[in-house]
Chains A and B, each alone.
Chain A
Amino acid sequence: GIQVEQSPPDLILQEGANSTLRCNFSDSVNNLQWFHQNPWGQLINLFYIPSGTKQNGRLSATTVATERYSLLYISSSQTTDSGVYFCAVENKLVFGAGTILRVKS
C-alpha cells in the first residue's frame, strides 16, 4: 500500500517563529489532507489539498502532486499551535506518523 512519511518527527519552536512540515507519499494520490490533533486529542481538519496551494490565516499548505510531497507552513507560531500534525492521503485516509510540535512562550 501507499506509504506516507512526515518530517521532522519532533519540532520545538519559540513563540513567533515560523516552521515548515513536510509530507512525502509513495504513489500518486487524489486526496491529501492535513490535520492538527490538539493536546486534548481533538483532530481538526486544516486543509483538503490534493494539489496546489491554500492559505488559512497563519497556516498555508502546498501540494506538488507530480513530485509526491506536501508542505504545511506555520507562521508566527503560537502556543495554541502545539500538538501533533498529521498528513493523510487517499479517500480512506492513510496517515503518516505525524510531527509533534511544541511552541514555547
Chain B
Amino acid sequence: SAVISQKPSRDICQRGTSLTIQCQVDSQVTMMFWYRQQPGQSLTLIATANQGSEATYESGFVIDKFPISRPNLTFSTLTVSNMSPEDSSIYLCSVGAGTNSPLHFGNGTRLTVT
C-alpha cells in the first residue's frame, strides 16, 4: 500500500490562529479524504479532496473553516482556521486507489488548541 506522510504529527496552537496540515503520498492516488477524530470518539469525514477543484464537504463542515487544497494526485493540505478549543482533535488523511478499494490512513495530526 501507499506510504502516507502527514505533517505535523502534533501541535499546540492558540485560539484564533490557523494550522495547515500536509498529507503527502508516495504514489498517485485517486481518492483522498480528510477525517476528524474528537477525543474518545470515532472518525468523522470532513471532506473529499478533489484534484484540481474545490473539495466536497460533508454536512457540518464548511470551506471557510476547513479550506482544503489538492494540487495534484499525491498531495493535499487541510487548514483548520480561526481555531477554538473545540477544534482539539486528531486530523487524519486517508487515500485509496479508487472506488470500492481499501483506504489507508496517515498517522494523523494531534491538535491541541489552548
Contacts and interface: CB of A to CB of B under 8 A. Distances in A.
Interface of A: 30-31, 33, 35, 41-45, 48, 50, 86, 88, 91-98
SS class, residues of chain B in contact with chain A = strand
B112 to A, nearest CB: 14
B99 A95 contact: no
Interface residues of B, number: 24
A91 B43 contact: no
B33 interface: yes
B48 interface: yes
Interface of B: 1, 31, 33, 35, 42-45, 48, 58, 90, 92, 94, 96, 99-105, 107-108, 110
A97 B44 CA distance: 10
Nearest to A6: B42
B100 A93 contact: no
